[in-house]
Amino acid sequence: MTTLHTPAAVPTQPTWRRTLAAYVALTKPRIIELLLVTTVPTMFLAQRGVPSLWLVVATLIGGSLSAGSANTYNMVYDRDIDAHMGRTANRPLVTGEVTPRAALIFATALALISTIWFAVFVNGLSAALSLAAIVLYAVGYTMILKRRTAQNIVWGGIAGCMPVLIGWAAVTGTVSWAAVVLFLVIFFWTPPHYWPLSMRFKEDYAQAGVPMLPVVEGNVGVGRQIVAYSWVMVVTSLVLIPVAPMGWLYAVAAVLSGGLFLAEAHRLLKAAKADASMAQLRPMRLFHYSITYVTVLFLAVAIDPLVFHALPWG
């Protein structure tokens, strides 16, 4: 029997600030921040220097609206299972701060505005990719994969890779092999980023009936898959060096940050094989480092072309 978590009490007459905060929460701003971390550096690489400030701002606005739409659709559809999970029980649709109908209208408005914004202020390809990202996350991941397969985050994670393609398309109007490599880096990064979080909140997912990998497999099996995806991710990040091509700054950043990622992944697997408790397993350590890793890697993606192409000594 699942447990229904009791959400925090909500004022009967919410202020406009609280209402605004509830709608902002629907967009999952922390996830949006992470998506944008990959967009801007990709634009620098595509430009081989500093892209137009207006183009960067326009792409960030469109990307934020697009991601906000996808995340809101996700909350609308998942409001039933969110009520059974401790970390999601206070989301606006669970507490009643926002009605499902209002959230659905909000998500649709964001989808329309973001698509039109991209088409008018950026270009048609970025608009199409943005709309595809919304559909992939809202329909592909949320409605089809999440509740049906333990590989949900693998294929559903494709939506989270789209900002890389959008950023590249915003600058060039095309999608090149370098953009595809960066897309694949995020694709292979997503499972070892999210599965440690799923390990930490395994009971929540089990109660909600969501077959995340840690729910259906033991810690050792999850650890092995994390290690496997981590190795492929690091190797893929190195493929960018000849494809882009990249200089020594990116190469050093990719090797060092990737090496630390692999060390953390193997540490987690070793602890799992030793049948460690959750406190000893510390899966959130890898989860938090995975955010640092992608930030460092894409910072190098942005800086490397400045050093080796845009500046006088490059």
The CATH architecture that domain 21-175 belongs to is: Orthogonal Bundle (1.10)
Kindly state the average pLDDT of the residues 6-35. Answer: 79
CB burial class (10 A; 0-12, 13-18, 19+) of residue 274? exposed
Q: Domain boundaries in the chain?
A: 21-175, 176-314
User: What confidence score (pLDDT) does residue 31 get?
Assistant: 82
Q: What is the pLDDT of residues 47-77, one digit of tens each?
A: 999 999 999 999 999 999 999 999 999 999 9
Q: Give 1's pLDDT tier (boundaries 50, 70, 90).
A: very low
Residue type (1 letter), 123: N
Residue type (1 letter), 184: L
Q: CA 197 → CA 46, 285, 288, distances in Å?
A: 32, 9, 9
User: What confidence score (pLDDT) does residue 5 get?
Assistant: 60
User: What confidence score (pLDDT) does residue 313 get?
Assistant: 41
Residue 156 has pLDDT above 90, yes or no: no
Residue percentage of the chain with pLDDT more than 90: 80
Residue type (1 letter), 302: A
Q: What is the pLDDT of residues 286-295, one digit of tens each?
A: 999 999 999 9
- 181 contacts 239 by C-beta, under 8 angstroms: yes
Assign a CATH topology to domain 176-314. Four Helix Bundle (Hemerythrin (Met), subunit A) (1.20.120)
Residue 10 has pLDDT above 60, yes or no: no
Q: What is the pLDDT of residues 163-216, one digit of tens each?
A: 999 999 999 999 999 999 999 999 999 999 999 999 999 998 998 899 999 999
Poorest-pLDDT segment among 149-158, 181-190, 262-271: 149-158
Residue percentage of the chain with pLDDT more than 70: 94
> What average pLDDT does the structure give for the chain?
92
Q: What is the pLDDT of residues 77-86, one digit of tens each?
A: 999 999 888 8
User: What confidence score (pLDDT) does residue 2 get?
Assistant: 52
